[in-house]
Structure formats: C-alpha cells, structure tokens
Amino acid sequence: MTRRVLVTRLDGAGDVLLAGPAVRAVAAAPDTEVTLLCGPDGVAAGRLLPGVRRVIEWAAPWSVNPAPPVRRSEVDRLVAELAGHRFDEAVLLTSFHQSPLPTALVLRLAGVGRITGASVDYPGSLLDVRLRPGDGPGDDLPEDLPEPERALAIAAAAGFGLPPGDHGRLAVTDPPPVGALLGPLAHRPYVVLHPGAAVAARRWPVEHHRRAARMLERLGLPVVVTGGTKERELTATVAEGRALDLGGRTDLAQLAGVLAGAVALVVGNTGAAHLAAAVGTPVVSLFAPVVPAVKWRPYRVPQVLLGDQTAPCRDSRARDCPVPGHPCLGGVAPEEVVSAVRRLYPVLATARAGRGAGRRGMTERHVTEGQK
C-alpha cells in the first residue's frame, strides 16, 4: 500500500531547491509517494526536484511577500484539496526563523495524521514529532546547520534518510537542451552573470556587473547575462549589447541548462546560486550577510564567497540595505570578481569533457574572501 507523504516548503525557488535532499530522503522510503506543498515562487523549482510526484501551490499569508489577505474561503479550499489526497503524514521544512505551527494547524484540519516539524514554541497537539531548535540544554537541532542539512534533520526525525549512494548534494532533473538559446556559445566556455535578486539588499551594484562583464570578455571568456521577465532592463544594462542577454528568455528549467554549461556563475545570495549548485556549477557568491552564510551559501560546490560578512547589516534579514552605501557588497570591486572566476575556472578544466556528469564528480572546494 502506498504511503502518501506531504512535504512542505512555503518559500521561494532557492529555499525549495535547498529542500531537495530532504525530499529525496522521503521519496526513498519503500512504497512512498511525495507531494510538495510550496508557495507560488517555489512551484517551478519544486517541479524540478527528483522524487516529487506532484506540486500543490499555496500562497501562505505568513510566508509570501507581499502577504495576501487571509480569506476563509482560500483556507477552506486548501483544506479540502489536501484532505482529498488522504495524506498519511507530513514533514514540515522551515528555516530557523520560521514556525511550522500555522501550517500544522491547516494540515490537522485536513486530516493529516502524523506531522513532523521543528518548533521553538510549544506545539501542543499540532506536531507528533518535534525537534527543538537551539544550542541549549534539551535542544536537538543546532542553529548553524546549512539549510539542506537542517531539512535532512527534520526528515530524519520523521524516520526518513537518504538511500545508500545518494551524495546529499542539491540536484534537479536533467535540464532541457539550451543550444538554441546559447547559439555559438553552446560549444565554448562562458561565464554567467545573474545580477538580479528579489531582495534589493542582496544585489551587487549594476555598474560593477557591467565592468566585470567587460573585463571577462577581454580575458576571452564570453559572458551570458540571465534574469527574469521583470529584469530585462537590468540584464540589458549589464550586457551592453556585448554579452549574450537572456533576460526574460528562460524558464527555470532552461536556466538550469544554461548554468549547467557555464564555467562559473557570478550571483548574489538568491535562487540562481542554488540552481547552479544543483547542476554542479562553481559559484562566485556575492553574499550579503543579511542572512547567515553558514546557512544559505551555495551548498557543496566549488565557490568563492565575497562580501563583508561582518557588516552592520549582519543577520538583520533586511530586504533593503539599512546601511548607507551598501558596504557589504558595494566594496567588492569587479577586479575581485574576475579574480575569483579565474580561481574557479581551473577546477572545472579537467571535468569539462564530462559536462554535467563530470562536474558533479568534482572535488568540493570552498574559498571565503572578503571577510573583515
């Protein structure tokens, strides 16, 4: 008899990608079918995760920004939909600053019988299996775990573990061919610049991106600029008619294909960084410390971390930079980014013959720079 398990991750694409190893752990259990419940910005990523049978979308009022109004009709609709699937249990994946309890309440109303989550607050009858986050006596979920490992710990508490041979890294299903998008670059080494981010505090200055693109082109490394449909003006500004501008021209699966062929990605701490990690592409991470790098840096791929991790905005979770001049990232010069790309490129050189498969087999290398 098939066991139906609901895994929830109600955030954006990057957070859903970071939940991938935990999803695979649940899906590896015998006779288990996994449904993923996620927010609107996470749906496309959820459909790329190995092990997911179906994706249910819900804009949770406590997770989506800007938050939708609370409507009883919407909650009733979701409860009815979830009840119709007759889930045997649920695994609630949350970050350190999130509570699983509102979601657990909805799932209880939908008749889910066994629910696992990590909660600082007393869960009452909402959780059957509870992890206590923290580093004090009685706590059993350390605070400084990378997000994929936190999610795996929650899945393990529910009784699910990765199968033998699963490396525990991020992964997505095989991306589609993107040769038509790349044109002549499909057969050449290239670097991807992804200048956008949903949160302004995590963006490297546009002019810095432009200068870095020019410098990379002068070194003989063509540049591909990527971004969403609302970022076309931004990507055009960075590309300047010289680089290949794919702004607004890829869906998430196609972006995975573009990243899979790149020698490196230059990006802030946003979803594209985690998509690169999922296809094994090295990352120059322009990481704004508004959230901790230990939790959200690119997971287990060759990388160089740039940005002042001790800046005054540290751990503020600010969406807009609270410090004049954006010092955590504004002080990172384009020359530093180009130097980082050159450091990562030799890591890839011996693996390019195998493209995707070879890249996933590369030795992990983590290099941190810019910490004062």
Q: Provide the pLDDT for residue 327.
A: 86
Distance in angstroms (rounded) separating the CA atoms of residues 57 and 99? 19
pLDDT in tens, 153-196: 999 999 999 999 999 999 999 999 999 999 999 999 999 999 99
Other Cβ atoms less than 10 A from the Cβ of 261: the count is: 24
What is the H or E stretch that residue 355 is in?
helix 355-360
Kind and range of the H or E element at 92? strand 89-92
Q: How many residues does the chain have?
A: 372
pLDDT for position 118: 98
User: Could you give the CA distance from residue 17 to residue 277 in angstroms, rounded to a whole number?
Assistant: 9
Q: Write out residues in the chain with pLDDT < 50, as ranges.
A: 347-365, 369-372
87-109: string of b/e by CB count within 10 Å (b at 16+)? Answer: bbbbbbbbbbebbbbbbbebbbe
Full-model pTM: 0.92
Cα–Cα distance for residue pair 40/269, rounded to 1 Å = 19
Q: Residue 97: which of 313, 319, 315, 321 has the closest Cα?
A: 315
Q: Give per-residue burial for 217-255: e unless 16+ CB within 10 Å, then b.
A: eeeebbbbbbbbeebeebbbbbbeeebbbbbebbebbbb
Q: What pLDDT does residue 156 have?
A: 98
pLDDT for 326 equals: 85
Which stretch of DSSP H or E encloses residue 89? strand 89-92
Instruction: State phi, psi for 303 to the nearest 5 degrees.
Output: -160, 155
Residue 371: what pLDDT?
Answer: 41
